[in-house]
Amino acid sequence: MLAVLRNTTYRRLFTAQVVALSGTGLATVALGLLAYDLSGGNASAVLGTALAIKMIAYVVIAPVVTAMTDRIPPRTLLITMDATRALIASALPFVTQVWQVYVLIFLLQAASATFTPTFQATIPRVLSNEADYTRALSLSRLAYDLESLVSPILAASLLTLVSYGWLFTGTGVGFLASGLLVASVVLPRPGTAQRSGGRWTNIGFGTRLYLATPRLRALSALNMAVAAAGAVVIVNTVVLVRDHLHRDVTSVAVALAAYGAGSMTVAVLLPRVLDRLRDRRLMPPAAMVLALALAVLTATLHFDALTWPFLLTIWAILGAATAVVLTPVGRLVHRSARSPDLPAAFAAQFSLSHACWLVTYPLTGWLATTSMTAAAATATLITAVTATAAAMLWPTSDPATLPHVHTDLPPGHPHLADAAPTGHGYRHTHHYVIDRLHSRWPLSATGRVNG
């Protein structure tokens, strides 16, 4: 898996990602302490609101800004967003009112919602070989998991030496370092996306592409399955450990580490598996594993039989299954869009997947306040339904190349150079994605396409 780091451009981009993630982890710890300083006992409400603002920024900003900035070179856009994030993070220690926190968090996450899809769309252009790209996706998954484990430890160590305000400074330094690493490489230009319609039409293009592509419709269901299972872990771990098992705060970190360890193990092993098996053979079954694990958790809670070793085991299984679902996501998106349209496609994935979290976070938290069993049962139902939907939405045979008929392109159109005339139009076969000439998916091998 590490062989992909021999590519100098990718190595620097990956290092930029790791540095930026570390800075974000420090900011997460510091934000909790800042919220407590500003609001005392209402710190949980402040943090909850900040997380909701983060998700709203992700859902709304990503597709809009991607469409508005599609003519800006990716390297310029990435550097600008890193500089913006550094500036905002450096301002956080100086806030004195809760509303100022909300404004800065929205601006910070808006910059991240611009940076992340652009960064994700850049990697497959740097690594054109699919095997290398698959290994890069696993490394990215590993980086996220390691950040969730290492950043709190690093923050705790720094807090023995400095006040939490310096953690925000560390965040800013991380973003600046990320920007410098991006500035040190030359990135491929994606070309100009050619789409009909005005700016507002183009804003919705990524979502239209996403919903018109069967494998991506299945991915939207898988996103909800992951969000339902992940919300149980993220929202309810502290309550399960402290109130149900009566263990100390260190055990909360250990339980979350078990979830991360399951994910990291899969991230290391999955590339070789993906070399032999198609994504469809792995992702919907892994989502069903999430549902089964949650069903077992529900039964255990119902019968008041939860134990510490059992919780660690279930959390590790949930982490592993989540990684199986999430690691190949970039391959699906890359396979489903032309290079100029990749930023729009990744922005749609970014926005729609976070919309799922925006639903499951509050739903799980609200249900858990009345019944932890009800929260787990609801998550089980959502995960089982969406895993089943994904298997049904994703065609068993999902070739990249599809024969199709164009019914409204005029004779002599450049796109029809290799097409054969039929009684209903012009038929040819090529790698099929939704774009300005292909606005819908063929219903069959002879299906019509109206550009």
Q: What percent of the chain has pLDDT over 90?
A: 40
Per-residue model confidence (pLDDT) at position 190: 66
Cα atoms found within 13 Å of the Cα of residue 321, Cβ hemisphere only: 27
pLDDT for the residue numbered 84: 94
Q: Determine the average pLDDT of the residues in 133-152.
A: 77
What is the pLDDT, as a whole number, of residue 386?
A: 98
Instruction: Tell me what pLDDT residue 445 has.
Output: 42
The model's confidence at residue 340, banded by pLDDT at 50, 70 and 90, is: confident
Sign of CA dihedral 125, 129, 130, 133: negative
Segment 418-434 shows an average pLDDT of 91
Mean confidence (pLDDT) of the chain: 86
Beta bridge partners of 403: 429
- Residue 448, SS3 per DSSP: strand
Q: What is the mean pLDDT of residues 95-101?
A: 88
What are the residue ranges of helices labelled H in 69-164? 74-91, 98-126, 130-159
pLDDT of 197 > 60? The answer is no
Rg, C-alpha atoms of the chain? 23
Give the CATH superfamily of 1-190: MFS general substrate transporter like domains (1.20.1250.20)
Q: Which residues contact 107 (CB under 8 A, 6 or more apart)?
A: 84, 88
Lowest mean pLDDT among 154-163, 259-268, 274-283, 328-337: 154-163
CA atoms within 13 Å, Cβ hemisphere of 345 = 30
When pLDDT is cut at 50, 70 and 90, the band that residue 451 belongs to is very low
Identify residue 161 by its one-letter amino acid code: L
Q: What is the pLDDT of residue 447?
A: 45
Contact between residue 130 and residue 8 where contact means Cβ atoms under 8 Å apart: no
Tell me the per-residue pLDDT of 309-324, one tens digit each, with 9 for 90 and over: 999 999 999 999 999 9
> pTM of the entire structure?
0.82
User: In the numeric block, which tokens belong to residue 90?
Assistant: 């450096």
The pLDDT value recorded for residue 446 is: 41
What is each CA distance from 310 to 232, 306, 314, 422, in whole angstroms?
15, 7, 6, 63
> Burial, 25: exposed, middle or buried (Cβ in 10 Å; 0-12, 13-18, 19+)?
buried
**181 touches 15 (CB < 8 A):** yes
Range with the largest mean pLDDT of 91-105, 198-212, 385-399, 416-430: 385-399
Once rounded to an integer, what is the mean pLDDT over residues 230-247? 89
Q: Which CATH number fits domain 195-397: 3.40.1160.10, 3.40.50.1110, 1.10.1060.10, 1.20.1250.20?
A: 1.20.1250.20
Higher pLDDT, 37 or 448: 37
Q: Which residue has the higher pLDDT, 188 or 9?
A: 9
| Signed CA dihedral, 32, 33, 39, 43: sign only | positive
pLDDT(29) > 80? no
**Strand ordering across the sheet containing 426-431:** 420-421, 426-431, 401-406, 448-449
For the chain, the structural domain boundaries read 1-190, 195-397, 401-449
Predicted confidence band at 52 (pLDDT cuts at 50, 70, 90)?
A: confident
Residue 383 has pLDDT above 90, yes or no: yes
Report yes or no: 113 and 57 within 8 Å, Cβ to Cβ: yes
| 303 vs 109, residue with greater confidence | 303
Q: pLDDT: is 242 or 245 the higher one?
A: 245
Token pair of 312, please? 């660690």
Residue 205 has pLDDT above 60, yes or no: yes
Tokens of 283: 């992702």
Out of 146-160, 163-177, 272-286, pick the least confident. 146-160
Count of CB atoms within 10 A of residue 343's CB? 29
pLDDT number for residue 1 = 59
Counting other chains too, the contacts that 30-33 makes at CB distance below 8 Å and 24 or more residues apart are: 30/92, 30/155, 30/164, 30/165, 30/167, 30/168, 30/171, 31/92, 31/101, 31/105, 33/164
Which pLDDT score is estimated for 311? 97
Residues 6+ apart with CB under 8 A from 435: 195, 209, 337, 338, 341
Summarised one tens digit per residue, pLDDT across range 55-89 is: 888 888 877 777 777 778 889 999 999 999 999 99
Separation CA 18–CA 141 (nearest Å): 11
DSSP string, 361-419: HHHHHHHHHH-HHHHHHHHHHHHHHHHHHHHHHS-SS--SEEEEEESSSPTT-GGGTT-
Q: Residue 297's pLDDT band (boundaries 50, 70, 90)?
A: very high
The pLDDT of residue 140 is 85
Question: Do 1-190 and 195-397 share a fold?
Answer: yes
- Please tell me what DSSP assigns to residue 188: P
Q: What is the CB neighbour count within 10 angstroms for residue 67? A: 21
Higher pLDDT, 49 or 434: 434
Q: How far apart are CA 293 and CA 80, in angstroms?
A: 43
Mean pLDDT along residues 338-358 = 87
